[in-house]
Chains A and B, each alone.
Chain A
Amino acid sequence: MTQSRFPTQPPDPASPGPTLDPRAVEPSRPTSSSVPFARAASTNSMEDETLARAQAGDHQAFAQLYSLHKRRIYSLCLRMVGNLAEAEDLTQEAFLQLHRRIATFRGDSAFSTWLHRLTINVVLMHLRKKGLAVVSLDEAMEPAPEERAGRSFGAPDLALSGAIDRMALERAIDGLPAGYRLIFVLHDIEGYEHNEIASMLDCSIGNSKSQLHKARLKLRDALRIDPRQEARR
């Protein structure tokens, strides 16, 4: 039987048959720290087989990998850049990079972790090309006087409600300056440690901590003035 090696649509992961449900194989936070390398082998056997076939050049298998990981990768790109069109482009670039390099994956880490890291590198390269100065700018990252953490002292009525509205937080994150958003997403959402972020962004660990702190302060300010949050009070 002749089978198309390259389907026009990737297989639906929700359909019966050998395709895996991505929810069953994709960790919610596949980071190097939160997802151990020895991820449950039993749940991965089918993905491993698909991966091996994709590494051997089977495009049907590559399409299956796309179906398994597309949501996670697209969501990661979207969160990092906050723009739908860019997220699409970056997801495409990430999977193209994956296609070029999949044969080099040796299984030293979980595939999802490797792909996650590959995607972050794609996004970082993109941001660097755009001129986003998130690297090696310790001095430039010194806060402007009005941004100093100390601006908070003396401010009354500081407490947020205690339960932050998810949509309000998403809006606030989207509104962060790109550099702040990047570090906030990497640390607080993706779960990377400061030393890992420093390595990725080629900045100091102290810089990463400082940027994260400032990002959280900005989010706090944004959440306090979010009109929809205010209306609820």
Chain B
Amino acid sequence: MTEDPNNLSCAAFQARLPELIGSGENIAAHPHIQSCEICRALLADLMTIAEAARQLFPIVEPPDRLWEQIESAIRNEDGGSVQP
């Protein structure tokens, strides 16, 4: 038996939400979202988080010693054949 999208409970709608979001379809047009303020707010929050995450990519400088460690490890692997 298929669920009537016009008569979904919040529980049923939210249980389907991962799939709905993952499908890429326009959830804002879903009948439940149109009629339910709580789930509309939930969806808005999740979309806000996802959007904020897309902007979130701080580039961090690794410590200088890391290259020395890598260089040393490579030298060990190469049996000391690499010229310093």
Contacts and interface: CB of A to CB of B under 8 A. Distances in A.
Nearest to A194: B22
Contact of A209 (B19, B53, B58, B68): B19
B42 A188 contact: no
Given A99-B77, A150-B15, 11 more contacts: A6-B75, A8-B71, A66-B70, A71-B59, A92-B69, A149-B15, A152-B38, A158-B42, A206-B18, A216-B50, A220-B49
Contacts of A4: 83-84
Given A10-B67, A158-B45, A216-B50, A74 B62 contact: yes
A153 B49 contact: no
Given A71-B62, A153-B38, A209 B22 contact: yes
A158 to B, nearest CB: 4
15 contacts: A4-B83, A6-B74, A8-B71, A29-B57, A70-B62, A88-B63, A152-B14, A152-B38, A153-B39, A158-B38, A162-B48, A189-B54, A209-B18, A212-B18, A220-B45
Interface of B: 9-11, 14-15, 17-19, 21-22, 38-39, 41-42, 44-46, 48-50, 52-64, 66-71, 73-75, 77, 82-84
Interface string A134-172: 000000000000001110111110111010101001100
A192 interface: no
A5 B83 contact: yes
Contacts of A63: 67, 71
B49 A209 contact: no
Interface in A164-222: 164, 166, 169-170, 173, 184, 188-189, 191, 194, 205-206, 208-210, 212-214, 216-217, 219-220
A164 B64 contact: no
Nearest to A22: B59
